[in-house]
Amino acid sequence: MSSRIEILNDGGYRSDGRRQYELRTLTIDLSPQGSGADGSASLTHGLTQVSVCVFGPREAKMRSQTFHDRANVNIEVSIAAFSASERRRRGKGDKRILELSHTLKSTFEPVIQTSLYPRSQIDIYIQVLQQDGGLLQACINATTLALANAGIPLYDFVCAVTGGVHSTSLLLDLTLLEENDLPNVTVAVMPRSGKVTLVNMETRLHVDRFEEIFRLAGEAGKVIHGEMKKAVRDRTEQLVGAMQSIGRPLAGADAVDNEY
Please indicate, yes or no, whether the overall pTM of this predicted structure exceeds 0.85. yes
Q: Fold for 26-259, please state it.
A: Ribosomal Protein S5; domain 2 (3.30.230)
Whole-number pLDDT of residue 1? 41
DSSP structural state of residue 67: B
What pLDDT is recorded for position 141? Answer: 98
Task: Give CA–CA dist 117/168, Å, rounded.
Answer: 48
Name the pairing type of β-strands 169-172 and 195-201. unpaired
With a cut of 50, list the residues of the chain below it in pLDDT.
1-3
pLDDT of residue 88: 59
Q: Where are the domains of the chain?
A: 26-259
pLDDT at 149: 94
Are the beta carbons of 108 and 3 closer than 8 angstroms? no
Q: What's residue 3's pLDDT? A: 47
Rounded to whole angstroms, the Cα distance separating 145 from 23 reads 19
Give which of 133, 118, 142, 125 is closest to 50, Cα–Cα. 142
At residue 81, the pLDDT reads: 87
The β-bridge partners of 47 are none
Instruction: Determine if the peptide bond prior to 57 is cis (ω within 30°).
Output: yes
**The predicted structure's pLDDT at residue 85:** 65
